[in-house]
Amino acid sequence: MTVNSTEDQIYVITNTGQLLKGDMELNLEGAQPHNPKFDYLQEPFHKGEITGLDVCIRKQLIVTGSKDKTVSIWNYETRKRELTHQFTEEVLAVAFHPSGLHLLVALTDKIQFCNILSKSLNSFKQVTVKNCSEIRFSHGGHLFAAAMNSSHIHVYNFYTTDCPLPMQYTGHTNKVRCIDWFENDMGFASCGHDGNIYFFDLYTYKEQQKRNTDKDFNKRDVKFLSCVNIPGKPYEVYAVGSDKSITSNVIQKKAQKGNGAQDLDATISQLAITKSGKALFAGVGESRRPGAIQIWRFPMEKVNVVQAHSKPIERLRMNFDNTHLFSVGQDGMLCIFDVKDKDPRGLKPEPSLKASEEILTEKQEMEMYITEKDSLIQEFKNL
């Protein structure tokens, strides 16, 4: 609790992490007691651990899901909350459709399909999936992969919700912690607590319903926590796990005695890599340690550490053009960082695509709007 320099406002942080502001009057002798009215200083925050985070490609929006049973959509340019929706169950994971018009929300026993309206979320379909801890849209948005019962991965057609047998993948024997799609959407990489990194080709091995076993990678007695595909290098990933190291599957296989791993001083729970492949962001996920973000420059040189969260980091994401980095943690905080490349040599500027401004609305709401507009026009004419 604190007051401003003019002593007319008081600021309070609650035990649920909310930041409030209230007007304050000095109680002079004989004056009536003043009961200040408090309001949010900026926006209501999550009241519990944030478990899901994803970034939209076509809009400047991010979505967060929390154990407080809410999903919030934020505009990272204006730093404003667009909307919050309350569910009846804890939110385990979220995925943002690239168009910015749809959302997937993983609950304890199902995945909810939602349309994003101007002021609310509208659930229009659901599929039964238990304990889905990871869910990711493909870059085109026509497919999404979900970790079924923790260890199986099913790939669904978003528009038809079909999940044919060849798209139901097995192999992991323990919890799947991360799914990362290939750049061409022809498959994805996954890692889990069983110490395995697998590569699944959706079409090359469709008939056999198998993964690309030639690319399998394993580290004994290690629980992998996150992996990212290296841009421009198919079947190459960086991964982190319980062994406190950053591992490349290709370098590790070439090394004779495990020299392909970069040792760390803390357990890393999340990775994010720039599109140029020049920098890697690593989020600390070790219990009883603050959730710092480490910045690595290739070839694997740690250049900076940013203290971000008071508890372990749960999710780490970058936006499509690599200008912003987002992190969420067990402390219920969402952190937004501006990313600036000090050495842009060799990067070709991509065609700029303006952020989409289209929104979905219900037919009834449009009819009400048109009726109200016509009524106001008629009143104006009668003046």
3-state secondary structure the chain: CEECCCCCEEEEECCCCCEEEEECCCCCCCCCCCCCCEEECCCCCCCCCEEEEEECCCCCEEEEEECCCEEEEEECCCCEEEEEEECCCCCCEEEECCCCCEEEEECCCCEEEEEEECCCEEEEEEECCCCCCCEEECCCCCEEEEEECCCEEEEEECCCCCCCHHHEECCCCCCEEEEEECCCCCEEEEEECCCEEEEEECCCCCCCCCCCHHHCEECCCCCEEEEEECCCCCCCEEEEECCCEEEEHHHHHHCCCCCCEEECCCCEEEEEECCCCCEEEEEECCCCCCEEEEEEECCCEEEEEEEEECCCEEEEEECCCCCEEEEEECCCCEEEEECCCCCCCCCCCCCCCCCCCCCECCHHHHHHHHHHHHHHHHHHHCC
pLDDT at 238: 94
pLDDT at 362: 81
Residue ranges of the chain with pLDDT lower than 50? 256-259, 346
pLDDT at 287: 87
* Full-model pTM: 0.85
